[in-house]
């Protein structure tokens, strides 16, 4: 299936009113991990034409985006590289990009909305050959289909916002588009994460010196001295759906294996991440002694004391690592793998976050901690074979984005084509069901799917 696409225009949208200008310091957690743009796509059935003609929809989005950029003014700025791989955010109101496009296809052509090559045309393209200070931090593309349906794709620089912050912006933008007031003001003071413009600024009493395996290079395949060959291998993406019954079956299997009667039952995420990890080890045909690591993204907002103010806008997530050998993971009960994941998550305490920030702060060069694969670089951590990353969107308010013409019929990530990337999303079709958006090397995907479903009943 191919879609003919016409780009009708790219507009620079600036804040509707004058906003604060200057350098906004980025926290250490903004400076590491993925620093490129992260896309999501919302799909909408045709709105009633007499109420919402396509031109009126685009005009409403453009006007409300301009209003939303007043409270969310950092998104209208630009990043700039500093020495040592550090980034600075210039709040200069230069604006964001809003792209209008038209597809010759119909929404039904996209089937179950699984990521496919056609998604590339629905997502705003970012030209990473340009210097970073020329790239917008936010790009939005509205694509109208022949049937009257439309997609809204939003790409936000991860250096400026993590998942909770990006969804905060999108939710508030939709409220403003519906004519409502802002619900939660964004809060930008990075000092809650012990950072200021002056590097000599006094910190609170130093945190304990803790081990941080998340900053170590991930394991390599046995016999290899680098991951360059694995980075080059072609990948494919699958959206794997699980019913509530299948999720409960997995949870029950994991919790049968718990040690001790008083331990909290394993969560859906702990169970699902364990299942994905084990299936990947089997599909990749690892040797039993193969070391493997799982990267887990943990939101530290509620783990800090005191927690940041509601609406903290930036990155407050930290990747932590669970590790083991493939043989150990696939031969042990599911609960044993779930316990490794829980142990990693529970390491993220107030002191652990402070210790991690101190560790990052002391690095002379942050480029080793930055994932810049979209920039065509081979530096930075690689969580492809033999490793994996499992990000949870289970508790994020990803659904119900209504700009005034109704809720979406589907939302999902844009194409993510990096081996080992996976997302766990709540099902839109069934309360308690889950969807796993997974990218693996083409050679491993069919075996993974087989194990993914067989091992639930096996």
CB atoms closer than 10 angstroms to residue 265: 12
The reply to whether 52 belongs to the active site is no
pLDDT value of position 138: 98
Q: In the sheet that 78-81 helps form, which strands lie side by side, from edge to edge?
A: 22-24, 87-91, 78-81
pLDDT value of position 196: 40
Length of the chain: 458
Tokens of 129: 């050959």
Distances (CA, A) of 367 to 82, 247, 264, 295, 364: 11, 39, 39, 18, 9
421-426/388-392 β-pairing: parallel
| Residues 6 or more apart whose Cβ sits within 8 Å of residue 343 | 322
> Is the peptide bond between 434 and the residue preceding it cis, with omega within 30 degrees of 0?
no
Tokens of 10: 């790219």
- Domain extent listing, the chain: 5-193, 216-457
| Residues 6 or more apart whose Cβ sits within 8 Å of residue 346 | none
Name the CATH superfamily, with its identifier, for domain 5-193. Chloramphenicol acetyltransferase-like domain (3.30.559.10)
Among candidates 70, 103, 76, which has minimal Cα distance to 89? 76
Cα 311 to its chain centre, rounded Å, is 18
Same fold, 5-193 and 216-457: yes
Tokens of 128: 């990473």
Of these residues, 97, 158, 275, 373, which one is catalytic?
A: 158
The reply to whether 371 belongs to the active site is no
pLDDT value of position 428: 86
Among candidates 255, 284, 259, 282, which has minimal Cα distance to 271? 255
Asked whether 361 and 79 are in contact (CB, 8 A), the reply is no
DSSP assignment letter at 70: T
The residue ranges of the chain whose pLDDT is under 50 are 1, 195-200, 374-376
pLDDT value of position 259: 57
Residue range 216-457 forms a domain whose CATH class is alpha beta
Among candidates 67, 63, 86, which has minimal Cα distance to 75? 67
Long-range contacts of 301-308 (CB under 8 A, 24+ apart): 301/164, 303/348, 303/349, 303/350, 303/353, 304/192, 304/193, 304/350, 304/353, 305/350, 308/187, 308/192, 308/193
Asked whether 97 and 392 are in contact (CB, 8 A), the reply is no
Of these residues, 402, 417, 447, 455, which one is catalytic?
A: 402
Radius of gyration of the chain (CA): 22
The C-alpha atoms of residue 336 and residue 341 are separated, in whole angstroms, by: 9
């Amino acid at each position: 299936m191919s879609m003919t696409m016409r780009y009708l225009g790219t507009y620079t949208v600036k804040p509707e009113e004058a906003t604060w200008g200057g350098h906004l310091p980025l926290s250490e957690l903004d400076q590491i991990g993925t620093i490129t743009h992260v896309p999501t796509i919302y799909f909408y059935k045709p709105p009633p034409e007499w109420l919402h003609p396509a031109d009126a929809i685009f005009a409403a989005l453009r006007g409300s985006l301009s209003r939303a950029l007043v409270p969310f003014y950092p998104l209208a700025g630009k990043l700039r590289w500093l020495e040592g791989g550090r980034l600075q955010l210039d709040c200069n109101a230069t604006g964001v990009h809003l792209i209008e496009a038209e597809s010759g296809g119909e929404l039904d052509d996209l089937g179950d909305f699984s990521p496919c090559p056609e998604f590339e045309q629905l997502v705003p393209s970012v030209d990473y050959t340009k210097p970073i200070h020329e790239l917008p931090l936010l790009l939005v593309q509205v694509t109208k289909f022949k049937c009257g349906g439309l997609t809204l794709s939003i790409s936000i620089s991860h250096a400026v916002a993590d998942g909770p912050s990006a969804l905060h912006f999108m939710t508030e933008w939709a409220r403003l588009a519906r004519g409502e007031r802002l619900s939660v003001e964004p809060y930008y003071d990075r000092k809650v994460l012990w950072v200021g413009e002056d590097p000599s600024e006094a910190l609170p009493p130093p945190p304990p010196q803790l081990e941080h395996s998340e900053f170590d290079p991930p394991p390599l395949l046995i016999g290899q001295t680098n991951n360059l060959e694995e980075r080059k291998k072609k990948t494919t993406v699958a959206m794997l759906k699980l019913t509530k019954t299948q999720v409960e079956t997995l949870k029950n299997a994991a919790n049968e294996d718990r040690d001790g009667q008083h331990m909290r039952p394993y969560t859906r995420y702990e169970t699902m991440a364990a299942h994905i990890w084990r299936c990947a080890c089997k599909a990749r045909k690892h040797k039993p002694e193969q070391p493997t690591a799982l990267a887990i993204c943990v939101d530290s907002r509620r783990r800090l004391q005191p927690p940041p103010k509601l609406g903290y806008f930036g990155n407050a997530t930290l990747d932590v690592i669970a590790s083991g050998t493939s043989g150990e993971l696939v031969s042990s009960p599911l609960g044993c793998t779930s316990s490794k994941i829980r142990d990693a998550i529970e390491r993220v305490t107030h002191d652990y976050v402070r210790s991690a920030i101190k560790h990052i702060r002391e690095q002379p060069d942050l480029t080793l901690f930055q994932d810049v694969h979209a920039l065509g670089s081979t530096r930075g951590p690689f969580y492809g074979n033999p490793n994996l990353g499992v990000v949870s969107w289970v508790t994020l308010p990803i659904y119900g984005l209504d700009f005034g013409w109704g809720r979406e019929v589907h939302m999902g990530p844009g194409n993510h084509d990096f081996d080992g990337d996976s997302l766990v999303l709540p099902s839109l079709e069934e309360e308690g069901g889950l969807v796993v958006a997974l990218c693996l090397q083409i050679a491993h995907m069919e075996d993974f799917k087989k194990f993914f479903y067989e091992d639930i009943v096996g």
